[in-house]
A and B are shown apart, each in its own frame.
Chain A
């Protein structure tokens, strides 16, 4: 069953808040993961675990290289979820 985009966005936002402890007011589609949200290389290691546990697929480092903003991340996760 396909997930709606807004459902994916809501779920990602909640995981970022609960698991990575990003502040709610930092969340915006244009926010850059590294620069604005402060997600560093170690946090990406944890995102790998979080995404697999919650969306059922493995992030690929080479694909994540093109993900700069939160909107990019929503799109990447959405495409992965709905292409399976």
Chain B
């Protein structure tokens, strides 16, 4: 028997706000979280642009042993998970008595790898590295740390699927609950913000160099875009079976209808049209949703020419007749990479619950592909009930989630 899967909690720590209320307001106002980091220029970056949010102060909140193995993206994820658990009304007793799982998207932990290697090279003694770096360095660092902090007893691993990691984590969580293997899973995505994490990405000439106007640098779908802006933070969603949510009287923020996925089977970094089309088609088919039932599409569009134009063609192929609203919140947040697939679901749910679609800021002139889409450059006060959220990544990995307003 398949179970319905609902979202009963959300938490966010983002460059456009450090909680749900702040983020909702930023989305409505079309506020950018992009800055120019002069340090990146000093150390040799081609682009100093980045999303930025301050590091949470956890001393006094978490014991030292729980902090020393936590990298910065784990700190973000701890804060977003606290908020998600609070909004879901899940307390310690629930966590300790039930088999609550965790599936997080994360695909690197660069800073601790660099720092611990620096210590080894300087001191020539592994014993000078200390106890924390091993737990900070592994890709599974977020799920590893949070499962210990929150004493979780269910499924526990990390999903690494490049810039679709957070979306795939939600997708896998959805499948496990749907099949009845878990009742509650903490899902999300986390992305460190530091030069060490993005230096090799900067080397690909993929970042915007519109450094004179940081807030205008990320401009998905716009004719005059010149690259993406790296960003980060963390987002957490509580996925729960419908039966469990109803039984405990939980607030339901949305229902996950389906998860579609695919691989391009082509280039390691160049996207195509076919892969995203197949992921979206799978989501539509699995959810038994017609294309004209999709009210809004949260596009992956990162502000690169190749990525945006391929996604625009893919969306146009499937939604040419109904022309739903399409926007990329990356215009405000920058590219949150491992986090983005999870945070963008939260952004869309915040819009759906507050009856607006956030602007695709900096969308001033369409190109030949984006002109075929219904992309708002200003906030749209409009209610909607079903959205599709796209996330794509290196290696040609694609994930499409369909989520709708909950109705019993």
Can you offer 22 A-B residue contacts whose CB atoms are under 8 A? A20-B64, A21-B64, A42-B65, A42-B131, A43-B65, A43-B131, A45-B127, A45-B130, A45-B131, A46-B68, A46-B130, A46-B131, A46-B132, A48-B127, A48-B128, A49-B127, A49-B128, A49-B129, A49-B130, A52-B128, A58-B125, A58-B127
Contact with A along B122-144 (1 / 0, CB 8 A): 00010111111000000000000
Q: What total count of A-B pairs have CB within 8 Å?
A: 26
List, in ascending order, chain A residues with CB within 8 A of B42's CB: none
B334 to chain A, nearest CB (A): 35
Contact with A along B62-93 (1 / 0, CB 8 A): 01110010000000000000000000000000
Interface residues of B in 82-135 (CB under 8 A from A): 125, 127-132
Q: How many B residues touch A, CB cutoff 8 Å?
A: 11
Closest to A41 in B: B131
Q: How far is the CA of A43 from the CA of B68 in the complex (A)?
A: 10
Indicate the size class of the contact surface on chain A: 10 to 19
Q: How far is the CA of A49 from the CA of B65 in the complex (A)?
A: 15
Contact with B along A12-54 (1 / 0, CB 8 A): 0000000011000000000000000000101101101100100
Chain B residues at the A interface, C-beta cutoff of 8 Å: 63-65, 68, 125, 127-132
List, in ascending order, chain B residues with CB within 8 A of A58's CB: 125, 127
Q: How far is the CA of A36 from the CA of B272 in the complex (A)?
A: 61
Closest to B59 in A: A21
A28 to chain B, nearest CB (A): 20
Q: How far is the CA of A46 from the CA of B129 in the complex (A)?
A: 8
Q: How far is the CA of A42 from the CA of B130 in the complex (A)?
A: 8
Q: How far is the CA of A71 from the CA of B308 in the complex (A)?
A: 66
Q: How far is the CA of A21 from the CA of B58 in the complex (A)?
A: 13
List, in ascending order, chain B residues with CB within 8 A of A45's CB: 127, 130-131
Residue among B63, B64, B65, B131 facing the most chain A CB atoms (10 A cut-off): B131
List, in ascending order, chain A residues with CB within 8 A of B63's CB: 21
List, in ascending order, chain B residues with CB within 8 A of A43's CB: 65, 131
